[in-house]
Amino acid sequence: MMSSHTFQRNVLPRVVTIFLALILVSPTLSGCLGAESGTDNSVETTHWLPPVEERSGKEYRNDDVFSRVSKNGTYDTGEVQSIFVPVPSITASDGGAGLTGGAEVHLGLWLPEKEGCDLTISEVLEECKVPVIAEIGPYYDDGDVDALTPADRLGRFLIENYVQHGYGVAQVSVFGTGQSNHCMDLMGHDEQAGIKAAVDWLGTQSWSNGKVGAIGKSYDGSTPWNAAASGSEYLATIVPMSGLIGVHDLMWRNGSMEARGAIMHNGVYGSFGLDGDNGDIENACEGYVEGYYAGPAAYMTGDNLAWTGSDYWEERHFLTNALEIYNGSIYIIHGLQDWNVDPHMAFPAHQMSIDAGFDVKGLYGQWAHDYPDRESGHSSLSSGRGAEAFPYTLRWDWADDMLEWFDFYLLDKGPKPRLVAEVQDNMGAWRVEQTYPPLEATPIVVGMNECSIVGGSDTITTTSSLMIECPEFESLTRIVGTPTFHVEATISPFSTSGHLFVEMVQSSSEMHLGHAVMDLRFHQGGNQGSPLVPGQTVLAKMEFFGMDVVVPEGDGIRLIISQTGEDYVPSPVSTFPVSLSLGSESTLSLPSLDRECSDLFLPPMQQPYPSCVE
């Protein structure tokens, strides 16, 4: 199992299988830190931070585990405060602390200090009031430091970079973790109520300017979306990094379950609320109890169980409500090599947020489940999984980038940030797109009858695969977004479904480019499927996970089709053989666009791209 710094994914398949069987058969330094806080931006006509295309010559500190802002702040950092925030919306019907009384969430709070500004009094001068940047998650005291200690995963980055610029920073424990009581609700409505209470409290204090930003990675990157769905009027911006737009949305892809999917609530995060004290009784909540059946049942069906009357998974989907009721800006950050929280959590959410009228920016680099500026994580990636893009993955300007964002959306200060997507391809080159995936991408459609079978059999079993070689590209080809693979598939006469996994590799090197997965009950795509008739033939409309890759001129791609891959677990009805037909209906569609060296930008403190040096 991975450390608590990551959204738990690497659960051993054997352990999961045993668990499911049991369930199914039983009822730093302050650094170069910018300008004074203030709300009057009328005097600031030019921006201190150059456009991203013009930053390559800037120098940054790179002697710590994270990036530093390039301008010194004028505030000191006050002593951390330990705050317990009541959550009165939790009542007896919610169980847990609703029954025992006094539901509350705990947070550690750091406020800036400046001569002439007293934030401890009830009548704080308007020019002294500050916004708050909050990281909200389950890890304080559970596999990490407590909420009163700056956390290396992000808290220290926030405190040492932004308090000196007039921001408060809060580390908040969700229910059932750290010093917060009640149930560990795994992103459910109880957890959302606790998040909203914390944001509301931070936005209504005498020293607050009424604006709160939520930021974090992994689980802590999912709470910003949950906060946006809560309806707090004080939430002004969210920065979800490798965050979930919904739990089922991540764990099931076209009906196919990740190995951890069935046990995330009770088998992984629910244990955070169980420490052997008298507070353990507070985990006797509706959501915690539902977790025992909702995971295994969804494993069997692949869907969200709405047809059974269960709202367990729907309750843990945030994106729809966030886009309907949130009133703030959105900065999505995601690794294109993140196979812990897969890239489909970032797009199409990016364009959907634009379509809903939000200010949206994206930062999509070829790192894994990581931050944009963590060298130790970036440098450890393997070939085809980010290694080719390193060290260009490192964004030492990220702290400056976030200061620009927070200044505008939390302090009403400075010119508006550019609302674009900064995207990196698998060879390391960065470029700016207006959205992602780019709307102007045009598909290269390859018929499977144009390709050649170079290995395996067209009957896919648990031990066999099929390898298909497609024609070489006549010029350098950039594949972006979410390619699709449509293939005619016939399921076994002894089953009502089947399971396919497709890996796309570069022909010459067999380097991984992308992959797709599907339970054939969901052959139309999406998250609603239906049982098939034994022996039925369907057109499986598979969609690859997000990718941004370059295939050289004279090279091509190969598809390796097997029954499963990565950590996906076919349901019991999907483990039977599947026969494929590579006729006229079977096609590969590769969204592509042309970009030249002149379209690329170089991040600070890096040498020019080898491919662009004449």
Token representation of residue 288: 């915690």
Average pLDDT over residues 329-349: 97
pLDDT (tens digit per residue) in 154-173: 999 999 999 999 999 999 99
Average pLDDT over residues 5-12: 60
Q: Position of tokens 């689980």?
A: 219
Confirm or reject CATH 3.40.640.10 for domain 13-433, answering yes or no.
no
Looking at residue 553, what is its pLDDT?
95
pLDDT band at 279 (very low <50, low <70, confident <90, very high): low
Looking at residue 280, what is its pLDDT?
67
Nearest-angstrom CA–CA distance, 241 and 244? 9
pLDDT band at 329 (very low <50, low <70, confident <90, very high): very high
Give the closest residue to 172 by CA, choosing from 88, 81, 280: 81
Nearest-angstrom CA–CA distance, 170 and 145? 14
Nearest-angstrom CA–CA distance, 477 and 147? 48
- The pLDDT mean for the chain works out to 91
Give the closest residue to 298 by CA, choosing from 272, 285, 316: 316
What string of H, E and C letters represents the secondary structure of 442-456? Answer: EEEEEEHHHCEEEEE
CA 416 from chain centre, in angstroms, equals 25
Looking at residue 550, what is its pLDDT?
97
pLDDT at residue 502 is higher than 50: yes
pLDDT at residue 20 is higher than 50: no
Looking at residue 286, what is its pLDDT?
79
Average pLDDT over residues 433-441: 96
Domains of the chain, residue spans? 13-433, 442-592
Q: Which CATH architecture has domain 442-592?
A: Sandwich (2.60)
Give the closest residue to 418 by CA, choosing from 329, 347, 481: 329
Sign of CA dihedral 125, 126, 128, 129: positive
Q: Are strands 208-217 and 360-365 parallel, antiparallel or unpaired?
A: unpaired
pLDDT at residue 614 is higher than 80: no
Looking at residue 55, what is its pLDDT?
96
pLDDT at residue 447 is higher than 50: yes
Average pLDDT over residues 560-567: 96
For the chain, the maximum distance between any two Cα atoms, rounded to a whole number of angstroms, is 79
pLDDT band at 274 (very low <50, low <70, confident <90, very high): low
